[in-house]
Structure 1
Amino acid sequence: MTRLWLVLICLGLVVLALAGMWLGWRNRERRQADLPELPAPPADLGARRLDALDGEYVGTAYATSWQDRVVHGGLGMRSGASIALHEAGVLLERDGAAPLFLPAAAITGARLAPGLANKVVGIGGLLVISWRLGDAQLDTGFRADDKSSYPQWVRTIETTKGART
């Protein structure tokens, strides 16, 4: 009988933890409801500036806090992805989610970072692209399977950031 009570208590604690995580995610969505809709990719992205990279979309966070994950519009879910830099901007095609398009005019910079949105991978492990969505300054992280082209990505974005198409 004691074993049954211990199992029920453990199951109750797991249910409470899951309910707390669900409520936290829902409250985060509610706090971010004032963010504008995500930009849709244009029909013509223009010429590709760099070869696409395959890897993982790590997430998007507010630029003021690398751990403050943005969940608005599906930005909060990690997934496999492919990233490509075009004249019109950056296109992240995510597995199981809508593509994420960062218009060239909204991009404010790029850098390498050890972590973002509660994912820490080590020095220079993430390509982080900074951009504006309305009044919010955001950072979007991508972890490529092949990190050797990170410096070229950062240089290209830094020299063309904020370009109007």
Structure 2
Amino acid sequence: MRAALTVLVLLILVGLVALMWWGYRNRRKRQAHLPALPAAPEALLAKVRAGTADDLIPPSTGVYASTVTDASWQDRVGAGDVGFRADATAHLLAEGLLFDRTGAQPVWIPKESVLDARTAPGIAGKVMGRDGLLVVRWRVDGQEFDTGFRADDKDDYQTWVPALRSLTGGPHED
């Protein structure tokens, strides 16, 4: 009896993992039309990691939550690993915004792609309540994305939001 229950639980777990894999595979198929996301320039990434980059404001440590399409705050992007959480350090540079993620590929948002910045209560993979996340709206080849970041110090958002908005060429309404 005990062996039968153990086998049943294992089968259920395997079934659940298979369903998650199937759902994620289908998400990638549905998002096949999305443009390729920009890669971080190697020279810039090397400067950041060596500590010699010219950050416009002090870097902020925290958790990169995810990148979603503009369709919904829950429509996580399935391309690469940008849809997955990771510890990260956010760097605002003259060239753009870099999330240098631990154990994952960096997420690079070129300056010319940034549309807006705001705080939000959540994004796919992380819900924090009022003003819990820094969310950056950006565009690649006509497709808009939102990228969420949870800073270790939420007071950083008072610096980050105006600094990111200044990349777009002017202030924006909340």
- 1:111-130 to 2 correspondence within 5 Å? 111-130=118-137
Greater share of strand: 1
Paired residue secondary structure (2:159): helix
1:60 partner SS: strand
Q: Distance in 2 between matches of 1:148 and 1:50?
A: 13
Q: Which of 103-112 and 66-75 deviates more?
A: 66-75
1:76 pairs with 71, 74, 83, which one? 83
SS in 2 for 1:83: strand
CA deviation string 1:1-42 (max 9, x = no partner): 3x3322222221111111000111111122222222221223
With structure 2 as the length reference, what TM-score do the two structures score?
A: 0.85
Which amino acid letter does the alignment assign opposite residue 52 of structure 1? P
Contact 1:90 1:101 in 2 (8 A): yes
Corresponding residue for residue 106 of structure 2: 99
Could you tell me how far apart the structure 2 residues matched to 1:102 and 1:162 are?
Answer: 16
In structure 1, stretches of 5+ residues that fail to align are none
- Which moved further from structure 2: 62-71 or 39-48? 39-48
In the alignment, which residue of structure 2 is the partner of 1:67?
A: 74
- The 3 A distance-change label for structure 1 pair 5 and 121 is same
Paired position in structure 2 for 1:58: 65
Within a 5 Å distance, the mapping from 1:3-152 to structure 2 comes to 3-42=2-41, 43-44=43-44, 47-152=54-159
> In structure 1, what residue type is equivalent to 2:144?
Q
State whether structure 2 residue 168 is matched by structure 1 residue 161.
Answer: yes
Instruction: Name segments (4+ residues, structure 1) moved above 4 Å.
Output: none
- The sequence identity of aligned pairs, in percent, is 44
Cα offsets for 1:90-142 (capped at 9, x unmatched) = 01101111211101111110000110014211111100001012222100000
CA contact (8 A) 2:88 2:101 kept: yes
* 8 Å Cα contact 1:37-1:73 kept in structure 2: no
2:78 and 2:91 map into 1 onto residues whose CA distance is 22
User: Contact 1:109–1:129 at 8 Å: present in 2 too?
Assistant: yes
The alignment yields a C-alpha RMSD, in angstroms, of 1.9
- TM-score using structure 1 length: 0.90
